[in-house]
Structures are given as structure tokens and as C-alpha cells.
Structure 1
Amino acid sequence: MSQRALGVTSAVLALSMALSSCGLIRDLTSEEGEEGSPTAETVEEVSAEDVELPFVRTGRMFVEGGNDVAVEMTIDALEHNGEYLMLDISRNILEFITGEELKYAGAPLRLVDPVSGEVLEPITSEEHGEPYGTYFIEGSDLDPIHETLPQPIRRYFPAPSEDVEFLTLTGATAGHVPGIPVSYVDEFTPLPEPDVHDYIDPETWVIIRDLPEDEIVYPESPPEPGLETDGFVMSMESFVDSPTASTTRAGDEEVIALHADNMFEFDESDPTDEAVDTIQEAAQSMRENLGEGTEITVIGHTDGKGADDYNQGLSQERAEAVRDLLEEELGADFTLTTEGRGSDEPVAEEGGDDDEEARARNRRVEFQYEVPMSDTDSEEGESGLDAAKRHVGPPAPYFEELDPFTTVTHEDLDLNVYPMVRDGAYLFQMVGFQNSTLSDLEADLEGDEASLPGSPQQYTEGTMGGFRLEEPGNGLIRYVIRIRDGEGEYEDFADEIFTLSPGEEYLALSVFPAPGPEVEEMTLYAGAFGEIPGVPLQ
């Protein structure tokens, strides 16, 4: 039995596997497996009692310093004990990994409540910084590779804020796996007796006997009761834009931004007739979305031109003028306050080629308020701002892999575009990147088409940040969701693309806010790949 890779592992493979948050240690004794070929099936709605685990997904795993490989992931259980969630999965690497200094590169494992927008990450230990659950050596991120031998992996997550029947899993080569049933239990199902150290010596990392044919079991460390888990709960922030207004939502926070150029003359604070109509629509949206007594803060913003004192005064005057009009519409049912923030909080970067559009974006008046997390089924109104309408459906059921809707090409890279899946309040869009050359290829997804002039910079950054959706008929633009953690830090809810090997398809996920239930297709603007009309919603 070879000890080469095991002998050098502790020196070079201090890695972080997104699926298991573990490192990789090579096992050269396993037999080469055949790559799976899942069959696409039509998605059908099912009830909760119809759903049985396991669910199986196959994808490709980016491995920096080695060859990328096919991986099969099986979801075996998702249990809720009243305090934590426990996820049991099994990872099976279907091909041999070559190379020594290896590093996994890909999207992290997450559980998502697609109705509320909560995003849950594995709970890690304050003692050693590694996730609670299965391990090879406690407190270490090293973990043996078992090509063609399924490896059970257990992870613990915070419980969602609301009791839920289904959650969605993303990342870790699985892409988008909706409709995972949550089992409510008094106690978590115990793991079998661990036996991994009967096969691999934890002191030397040497294989000491032939590995089993079916599975190998690791020890685990469950979280103790009463842990503070707020830091592992994040929220999805959505951004929907129109020529007159945009709406941003993250958790229970919502902001409607009215574009000031449609409401005020240059350097003026008296609203135009058009502004009155827009504020009436905004008031109708807030009546539909909010309960009585909600506190609404009206905030004025300017662009970066002019003196700070002047901008501060103008932003305050505009906020007060809009507040007066909003108060006439809403009456005494809401509490209204005002703030002027001048040019301190730009949302688009000024001074570039799109300076005029960026400055126009920054000139705005915002309505900021909180919406209870449980208030997700607000009525669909005929009036109100299109950008502020809330569209929340049920969680999507589990489905097998879909067939591509179309394929487009940019230079030497093919993009397979799959139907979008409506899951709760969001659209989950899978695309497949495929290298059509005979050598490794770096994906170049940027280009003049990657963003609209004056777009908010935080929604156009990242590998797939240039992706956006346009709703037919009304021109609403829906940007890639961002994930916000408890400290206010953000990242795109879109997979990063790395070096692509020839021929193989690499699936990547991006997430968008969902349109109304009557919308059956969207136009996808896929960065350098350009405009792709008619992408169906599943």
C-alpha cells in the first residue's frame, strides 16, 4: 500500500473542503470508479409526505494543484432537535485526484430557507475553529480522500427562525438541491461506531489495513446545548430596479429608493408632479407590505458634486418634502422620520466612464423600514411600485438534474443555460461552463455587457456579478442576490469559476429575487455571453 501521499499530507494539504470543511488526504489504495451520468427528469410538485431521502447529486469539484474530479453527494438526513439542525451527507469522489499540493476551490455548503431568505452555515467550534460534526483528528482541517469509497459527513447548523418543512441546500458541488424535508426529533440519530482509525493510523496517516468496500465512519463532536449561533445565520439581500425606483431587501429590512431625477428639478427640493404620482405608488406598496405602526425613515441622498454642507442641506430638504407627501397618503397609521445624508453613502462609483449615470443613481430618496420575517405572504396589489412588489411562493420540490435550455458561446467557452427554478421568494439559475479547447482555460466573464451604466457596484462585482435578469413587459431588472452576515459583510450568492479543464461541464449557481407567479420566462444577461431571451421558469 502506498504511503507517499499520506506521508506528505500534513505538510501540504491543510485545506478547506467546502462540503465538509475538511482538508484532503490522499488514499491511493482505492479502486478507480466510473463517473455517474444522472438522468434528467421533469420536475413535478409533490407533498411533504411524498418526500423520502436520500437525494443524490453529481457534479465536478475544482481542485487547485490537481485534476478536477467528478463527485457524487448523497443527502441522507436533515434533523431538527429544537435547537440545532443536523445534516448527514455522504461524499463519494468518483475519479482519482492527481497532484500533491491540493486545494479545494468552490462554493461552501449552506442551508437556505427560500421563503424567509435566511442562510445557515455550519456551526464551528470556538476552541479550534473547525465545524462541529465528523472529523479525522479533532480540531484539524485534514481529512483523508477516499476515491470511490463513500465517506459519511455530519454537520450542525443553527435552527431557522421559523419552523419549516423544507430547506434548500447549495454549494459543495451540489449546486441547487431544493425540497429537503426537515425531520423534527427529540434526539439526533446517533452515528455508527467510528472505525476510520482501524484503517488509517491517526499518528502517521498510514493505511494499516485494506479499506472497506461500502463506507468508512468517522468520530464526531456534536455542539453542546446553548451555543450562541447568530454568527452562523445570514440573510439574502435582493435588489430589483426600475427607471423610477428600486427596492432592496435583506432579512427583515427593506429599502425603497426613488430616483431623485424623476422627482426634483436640478438643485430643487420641491417635488414635481411626477414625484407626487411616484410617492402615491410607494405609499400603496407600503400599505400592502407593512403593518400599522411601522416606523418609516425617509432618507435623502445627493451625488458627490458640490460642498458637503450644501449637499447635506439639500438631502434633508428633499427628505422632508417627500415625508410630507407620504404622510398625506399614509395618514396616522405609520411613524415617519427624516434624515439627510448628503453624499456620504453612494451606491454607484462616480468618476468612471459611466459617471453621469452613477451620479444619477446616487441622487435618491429612500424609505427604510422593517418587515417581520413571518410577514412573507403580503397581498399582490394592482397598484404600487412594480419594483417593490413581493413575490413569495412555496419551497420548490426536489428534482433530478434538468436539461439545458440553450447553449451560447463566448470565445472558447460554452455556456449551457438551464431553466430557472422558482424556489420560495427566489429564482435559482444553474449554468454550465464548458471549455471547448484542448488545454486548461481561465474563464473570462467580464466585458462591456457585464453591467449597466450606473449600476450599484456591489451588485456587479464578482465572477458572475454581471449576470442579471430582465422581466418581459415592464423592464424590471433583477440582480444577483447578495448574502449579508451578522457583521454587515457581503458576498454574491453566485459561484466563483476557476480554471476549466477541457471538455468537462462545470455547473455554477446564481440566485435572483423571484418575479410574480404569472411570469413564465425571463431574459438573462450573462455578462460577456450577452443577452439570452426566453429562459423558462420551472
Structure 2
Amino acid sequence: MFKPSASLIAILSIVTIGAALSCGVAAARAGDDVTEEQIVKALASEKQPLTRGLSAAPQASPGLNAEQAKFVQSVRGRATRSLSTAEREEIATIVKHKPKIDLEINFDYNSADISAKSLPSVQALGRALTNPDLKGSTFVVAGHTDAAGGEEYNQGLSERRADSIKRYLVDKSGVDGADLVTVGYGKSKLKDPSQPMAEVNRRVQVVNMENKATASK
């Protein structure tokens, strides 16, 4: 029977503690069968640490000021391709410290069709966004690509993929399309710039831009 050495146990302990204390954006790969509960937990609590850093202390998510709230209302339900570069950057600024989760959702090659293996993650996302703890909030669904290909091509591809997710959420999960802000960032916001072609960069990020409690005020 294999008996791990003390040094191996120490290494495994460090890895486990490091994973538990990580305060980066919550992430889930399509193959990991992300659950509704995991998504709700990541998006519902503004007391969870939201940005990667040295400290694991919770960070509060600031509410929207009047100008930001007005802007959010102006982009709710808008066509993805109608957003200007300035509007996309404004969205990125507003959601920087908001509750979010990265879903690695795979698409068929060179298309915006959601792959069969990614459907469970998209279905879990649909259930989460209609969960009573989240329903009525404003969510950003942001498409990202890796660095392969030109900027214009990747921008268009990321927009089509964000639209594909929105269409599924509205048609199959009953999410109110007016509660969604879909945006594509192409390869402009790589998750891992040190590995621009890595699959970790090909992702859909979902952000609770304005929760229902503050949206109703």
C-alpha cells in the first residue's frame, strides 16, 4: 500500500490551502459540470473576494452611482454589435469589482454553435440566473477569445458567441432578455496574457452588474 511521504503531504496541503484561499474570479470549466449552486454562490454575494491579490479578505462590491445606473439602463437588452468601443470599455470598468464567474464554454470550430459537451454548463447558468436569489438582476455575458486570428475577426466571433449564449438563456431557460447585457471583447482582454493562445482565454464571463436589491431602489 502506497504511503505518502511527509514532504508529499506537505506539498499537497499547500496546494489545497492555496486553492481554498484563492481570491480570483470564480472559474469553471465546461467539463467540470459546474452547478447552479456554484454559479449562484459566485454571483449572489457581494461579500466574496472578487479580485486576485495577496489578501484573502472579502472586498465589498461598490454600488452604482446615478450616472452608472443610467448607463446600465441604456445598454440593457441592446444588440451586442450595437455597442461602441467606448460603451464596451465602460461596461468593463463598471463590472471590474462585481461578482463574476468565468465559464469555459466550448463552441463548434469556427462557429458560434454551443458544443454538446458545454450544454450542461449553459443549462446550469440558465437555472442560476432564474434562481430567486438572482432573478431580476442585470447580468453581463461577455465573450472572449484567445489571441489567434485578427482583431476584427475575434471581435465578431466573441460577439456572435455572446449572442448565442443569450439566445439559449432566453429561449431555453426563460431568462428575461432585458436583464442581459451581451458584449464581445475579442482578444483584447486575455485572462492569461502570458499564454495568449491558451484555452483559458476562450471563455464566457458572467457578471452580476446590478443586483435586484439595488436595481429596485
Q: Distance in 2 between matches of 1:339 and 1:374?
A: 24
The Cα of 1:290 is off from its aligned counterpart by: 3.8
CA offsets 1:147-193 (integer angstroms, 9 cap, x no match): xxxxxxxxxxxxxxxxxxxxxxxxxxxxxxxxxxxxxxxxxxxxxxx
| Structure 2 equivalent of residue 128 of structure 1 | none
1:346 counterpart = 2:190:
yes
The Cα of 1:306 is off from its aligned counterpart by: 0.7
| Structure 1 equivalent of residue 130 of structure 2 | 287
| Structure 2 equivalent of residue 309 of structure 1 | 152
| Structure 2 equivalent of residue 319 of structure 1 | 162
Q: Distance in 1 between matches of 2:201 and 2:147?
A: 8
- The counterpart of 2:118, out of the listed 275, 278, 298, is 275
The normalised TM-score by structure 1 is 0.22
C-alpha distance 372-313 of structure 1, shift in aligned 2 (>3 A)? closer
Q: Distance in 2 between matches of 1:366 and 1:240?
A: 10
Greater relative contact order (CA < 8 Å, ≥ 6 in sequence): 2
Indicate the percent of aligned positions where both proteins have the same amino acid: 22
- The counterpart of 1:241, out of the listed 27, 38, 46, is 27
| Structure 1 equivalent of residue 203 of structure 2 | 364
Q: Distance in 2 between matches of 1:315 and 1:363?
A: 9
Helix, strand or coil at the partner of 1:338 = strand
The Cα of 1:239 is off from its aligned counterpart by: 3.4
| Structure 1 equivalent of residue 99 of structure 2 | 254
Q: Distance in 1 between matches of 2:194 and 2:210?
A: 32
| Structure 2 equivalent of residue 144 of structure 1 | none
C-alpha distance 373-318 of structure 1, shift in aligned 2 (>3 A)? closer
| Structure 2 equivalent of residue 81 of structure 1 | none
The Cα of 1:362 is off from its aligned counterpart by: 0.5
Q: Distance in 1 between matches of 2:193 and 2:24?
A: 19
Structure 2 portions without partners, runs of 5+: 1-21, 44-48, 51-59, 62-97
Report 1:23-62 matches (<5 A): none
C-alpha distance 349-370 of structure 1, shift in aligned 2 (>3 A)? same
Q: Distance in 2 between matches of 1:363 and 1:296?
A: 19
Helix, strand or coil at the partner of 1:288 = coil
Structure 1 portions without partners, runs of 5+: 1-235, 376-538
Helix, strand or coil at the partner of 2:29 = coil
CA offsets 1:319-340 (integer angstroms, 9 cap, x no match): 0001100112133386112111
Helix, strand or coil at the partner of 2:165 = helix
What is the alpha-carbon root mean square deviation over aligned residues?
A: 3.1
C-alpha distance 287-311 of structure 1, shift in aligned 2 (>3 A)? same
C-alpha distance 343-333 of structure 1, shift in aligned 2 (>3 A)? closer
Q: 1:311–1:342: 8 Å Cα contact kept in structure 2?
A: yes
The Cα of 1:370 is off from its aligned counterpart by: 3.6
The normalised TM-score by structure 2 is 0.51
Q: 2:129–2:135: 8 Å Cα contact kept in structure 1?
A: no
C-alpha distance 289-305 of structure 1, shift in aligned 2 (>3 A)? farther
The Cα of 1:347 is off from its aligned counterpart by: 1.1
Helix, strand or coil at the partner of 2:175 = helix
Q: 1:302–1:363: 8 Å Cα contact kept in structure 2?
A: yes
Larger Rg, first or second structure (1 or 2): 1
1:265 counterpart = 2:108:
yes
CA offsets 1:421-458 (integer angstroms, 9 cap, x no match): xxxxxxxxxxxxxxxxxxxxxxxxxxxxxxxxxxxxxx
The Cα of 1:294 is off from its aligned counterpart by: 1.4
The Cα of 1:361 is off from its aligned counterpart by: 0.4
Tell me the matched-pair count: 133
Q: Distance in 2 between matches of 1:240 and 1:331?
A: 22
Q: 1:294–1:334: 8 Å Cα contact kept in structure 2?
A: no
